[in-house]
């Protein structure tokens, strides 16, 4: 997320502002940052893993209670952040998150209206 920082950094332009308003996205940003930093500060690894597990539980609970809410952009941003974090950390859980993202994408209805956030998440989902 920080290798290419600047005006066109979609995480900075779209995801971080979303994190200001959504606590789950905010926590996913923190988990991704902790995984990035755990290379230099190994003590951050365990809290990052615990945070990731808590986020996944929260997403599962939300899906069970509010089926349509699971298809939100905040859910997709959260899953993408967790995938990025797992790729950086080199965990095997990335495959589970990838399947979650694929299920989310196959079950959602395409909107005729797109926002810069939607376009960014579409691109990140393809990557």
Question: Tens digits of per-residue pLDDT, 9-62?
Answer: 888 888 999 999 999 999 999 999 999 999 899 999 999 999 999 999 988 888
Total domains in the fold of the chain? 1
Q: Is the pLDDT of residue 63 over 90?
A: no
On whether residue 68 sits in a domain, the answer given is yes
3 occurs within a structural domain: no
pLDDT of residue 1: 47
Domain extent, residue 52, equals 10-120
Question: For 118-127, what is each residue's pLDDT tens digit?
Answer: 888 988 988 8
Name residues whose C-beta falls within 8 Å of residue 72's C-beta, 6 or more positions apart in sequence: none
pTM of the predicted model as reported, rounded to 2 decimal places: 0.87
Asked if 7 and 14 count as a contact pair (C-beta separation under 8 A), the reply is no
Considering the domain boundaries, does residue 5 fall inside one?
Answer: no
């Amino acid at each position: 997320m920080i290798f290419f920082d600047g005006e066109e950094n979609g995480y900075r332009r779209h995801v971080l502002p979303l994190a200001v308003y959504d606590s789950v996205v905010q926590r996913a940003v923190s988990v991704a940052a902790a995984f990035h930093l755990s290379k230099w500060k190994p003590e951050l690894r365990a809290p990052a893993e615990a945070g990731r597990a808590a986020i996944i539980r929260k997403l599962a609970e939300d899906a069970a209670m509010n089926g349509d809410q699971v298809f939100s952009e905040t859910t997709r941003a959260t899953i993408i952040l967790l995938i990025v974090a797992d790729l950086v950390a080199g965990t095997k859980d990335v495959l589970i998150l990838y399947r979650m993202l694929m299920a989310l994408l196959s079950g959602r209805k395409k909107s005729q209206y797109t926002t810069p956030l939607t376009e960014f998440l579409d691109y990140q989902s393809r990557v």
